[in-house]
Amino acid sequence: MNSIDEGIKAMDNVDCFFDLLHQIGASHRKIPGFKKEYFWKIEHPFLEAVRLTLGDRYTDNMDNIYRITIKFLIETVVSGYETAPDHEPNDNVKRIKEGVNNAATTTTTNTNTTNTEDNKGGAGKGS
């Protein structure tokens, strides 16, 4: 579901959107025994999650919109799977993934820096 979330967030930049979803599809070629039909297994759980999340706000129109959206997302991922050459992710995908990884690294680094400063402060008080 995280990949779907990233795909939806990237929709405002068409190049990044297609690059990301194609790369997600391509990356699944490396999974032994994986078949492209498996991507479609996410359709029903996704729609059910949206329905539960929106509750009374989930109208027939919303259902239609989300069905079209998830179908388009999955078709794009499948296209990436089918046409996957053996190469590294392109720059758009790297930038998106680095942004996610940098956010996690920054949080970890900030926590470690705080702990280190606390340790230094404690050592200085005892001197």
What tokens were used for 2?
Answer: 């995280």
Secondary structure class of 38 (helix, strand, coil): helix
Predicted confidence at residue 127, as pLDDT, reads 42
Torsion, Cα of 14, 20, 24, 26 (10° steps): 90
Q: Which residue has the higher pLDDT, 115 or 24?
A: 24
Short-list 65, 59, 78, CA closest to 18: 78
Tell me what percent of the residues of the chain surpass a pLDDT of 90.
50
Task: Compute the average pLDDT of residues 28-52.
Answer: 95
CATH architecture, domain 2-126: Orthogonal Bundle (1.10)
pLDDT digits (tens, 9 = 90+) for 3-34: 777 777 777 888 888 999 999 999 999 999 99
More confident residue, 55 or 12: 55
Amino acid at position 12, single letter: D
Between CA 62 and CA 30 the distance in angstroms is 35
Distances (CA, A) of 112 to 4, 99, 100, 109, 124: 31, 20, 19, 5, 18
Beta-carbon neighbour count of residue 37 at 10 Å? 8
Residue 116: pLDDT band with limits 50, 70, 90: very low
The pLDDT value recorded for residue 126 is 46
| Residue 57 φ then ψ, to 5° | -75, -10
Distance from CA of residue 30 to its chain's centroid?
A: 18
pTM of the model: 0.62
